[in-house]
Amino acid sequence: MSDPDFGLWVYLSRTPLLWLTVTLLAYVAADRLSAALGRHPLANPILLAVAIAAGLLAATGTPYRTYFEGAQFVHFLIGPATVALAVPLWRERRAVRRAVVPMTAALLAGSVAAMLSALLIARAFGMPDAVLAALAPKSVTAGVAMGVAERLGGDPALAAVLVILTGAIGAVTVTPLMNLLRLRDMRARGFAAGLAAHGIGTARAFHVDPVAGTFAGIALALNALVSALLAPVLLRALIG
């Protein structure tokens, strides 16, 4: 290569460092933009960051596999983050114990409602079983959902995309929806956000209110457990 700039690009674009840096910078930019827009539900930092990073991939013609070689270091942290959810659960153990009845009921009702409605609608549209398997754990945090989908015979990468889309839909709609229902109990609002929209809903809940965030984290942790157990049962019942 005679062009030294192009040679540098060829070198850097192949190292994990470049795309790891891009991921962090996209996050910082998206978070600032979201804060500048007053944390409007539509200005979701994850959606903005994904748009920035995906736009850069498209503009430079970089394959996702190359990007992921750098981004995998961030992606890896979903596992430890799932483990770390034990800490808010432990810290709020008194509040959790006090709300154990509404939480258990809401957990079971919400988990079944979200999964069953998704599967029934998808089946009505005639989607193949492999897509249903990737769709079943869509309300569960990404790392867990990918594991569940794989075990059910679905594509883990598709499951991850459906999880992110679900989280974005939940994070964007939860505040207006709860206002519409005139629900002001921050525990109920947060718990719903964490259950239906996992980590993305939890991140949104923490932006709205610390109590909502805590209960969202609890719901996210508990739903990872319950949905991992229920998804195979519901899917088998539907596709027999």
Partner 1 sequence: MIPGAALILLCQLAGEAAAHATGLPLPGPVLGMILLLLLLLGNDWLPRPLPTASATGAADGILGNLSLLFIPAGVGIVGKLDVLAAHGAGLAVALVASTLIGLVVTALTFALLARGARGDGAEDAA
Q: Find the shortest distance in angstroms from Cβ 152 to partner 1.
A: 10
Cα–Cα distance for residue pair 62/234, rounded to 1 Å: 39
**Maximum separation of any 2 CA atoms in the chain, in Å:** 70
Point out which span in 9-17, 35-43, 130-138 binds partner 1 (CB under 8 A).
130-138
Cβ-proximal residues to 42 (8 Å cutoff; 6+ apart), any chain:
172
Does residue 71 touch partner 1 according to CB under 8 A?
yes
**DSSP state, 140?**
S
- Residue 232 binds to partner 1 (criterion: CB under 8 A): yes
Q: Are 131 and 109 in contact (CB under 8 A)?
A: no
234 binding partner 1? (CB under 8 A): no
Half-sphere exposure of 224 toward its Cβ, with a 13 Å CA cutoff? 22
Q: Which is nearer to partner 1, 142 or 208 (CB)?
A: 142
Contact of 230 with 112, CB cutoff 8 Å: yes
Q: Min. distance of Cβ 5 from partner 1 in angstroms?
A: 25
Residue 90 touches partner 1, criterion: CB under 8 A: yes
Query: In which residue are the tokens 């839909």 written?
Result: 169
Of 164-193, binders to partner 1 (CB under 8 A) are 164-167, 169-170, 173-174, 177-178, 181, 183-189, 191-193
Q: Does 72 bind partner 1 (CB under 8 A)?
A: yes
Give the x-and-dash track for 99-118 against partner 1 (CB under 8 A): x-xxx-xxx-xxx-xxx-xx
CA dihedral (199, 43, 170, 57) positive or negative: negative
Q: How does DSSP assign 35-72, residue by residue?
A: HHTTT-TTS-HHHHHHHHHHHHHHHHT--HHHHHHHHH
The residue among 6 and 104 lying less far from partner 1, judged by its C-beta, is: 104
Cα radius of gyration rounded to whole Å, the chain = 19
User: C-beta of 234: minimal distance to partner 1 in Å?
Assistant: 12
208 binds partner 1 (CB under 8 A): no
Residue (2 or 83) nearer to partner 1, CB: 83
- Identify the residue among 29, 33, 43, 89 touching partner 1 (CB under 8 A): 89
CA 102 to chain centroid, in Å, comes to: 24
Using the rule CB under 8 A, give the single segment among 7-15, 35-43, 82-90 that binds partner 1: 82-90
| C-alpha to C-alpha distances, 12 to 7, 29, 66, nearest whole angstrom | 9, 21, 11
Judged by CB under 8 A, does residue 32 bind partner 1?
no
- Ranges within 2-21 binding partner 1 (CB under 8 A): none
237 binds partner 1 (CB under 8 A): no
| 27 part of the interface to partner 1, by CB under 8 A | yes
Instruction: Tell me if 49 sits within 8 A of 25, measured CB to CB.
Output: no
